[in-house]
Amino acid sequence: MSALILASTSRYRAELLSRLRIPFSCAAPEADETPLPGEPPSVLAARLAQAKAAVVAARHPGAWVIGSDQVAELGGAPLGKPGTRAAACSQLAAMSGREVLFHTAICLSNGERHLQAADLTRVHFRTLHADEIERYVEAELPLDCAGSFKCEGLGIALFEAIHSEDPSALVGLPLIALSNLLRQAGYRLP
């Protein structure tokens, strides 16, 4: 079977992929993640997943490459990674008591074939108070996470409910959809 490469430096995505027990390596995708003017969040996630897979596949001919991207959407607008504590607190305050959509797209590519899938997860945030937000951001420093939280950690305490067909999607790699794509590419899974 061809080499499998995860086009990501995210330890969370690598931890998820390891659950499938297929040998893989990781490579930085180095793709431009700038949204196009007026680009809907779901389209942005799909475009970036494909771009990440394509960049790494071009550097590794013959390998199958997994590209994945997640875009948070609040009120129709994309939320980026906060980058700073102040931005994370601001994002969480804006999401307080509201529903946020998380579009997670994956692309499995060998440079010739591109297999794609997407997941939509709806997260209902409970009403958050400023002191709770500050304590959370200080505790987890979710500065590199879309939506300013880590659901695999303390961030789960910020929610009222999560609605998704794939519980791994919110972490950044929908394993149910990915398993189906890997089977299409010839990988043997249970």
The CATH number of whichever domain residue 84 belongs to comes to 3.90.950.10
Q: Of residues 32, 69, 131, 144, which has the active-site annotation?
A: 69
What are 165-184's pLDDT values in tens digits?
A: 998 999 999 999 999 999 99
Domain total of the chain? 1
Expressed as residue numbers, the domain containing 143 is 4-184
190 located within any domain = no
pTM of the shown model: 0.91
158 located within any domain = yes
Known catalytic residue at 144: no
pLDDT greater than 90 at residue 153: no
189 located within any domain = no
Give the model's pLDDT for residue 151. Answer: 85
What are 68-80's pLDDT values in tens digits?
A: 999 999 999 898 8
Give the model's pLDDT for residue 33. Answer: 87
Bigger pLDDT: 186 vs 151: 186
Identify the sign of the CA torsion 9, 181, 118, 126: negative
Average of pLDDT values for 137-142?
A: 94
Q: What is the separation of C-alpha 190 from the centre of its chain, rounded to a whole number of angstroms?
A: 24
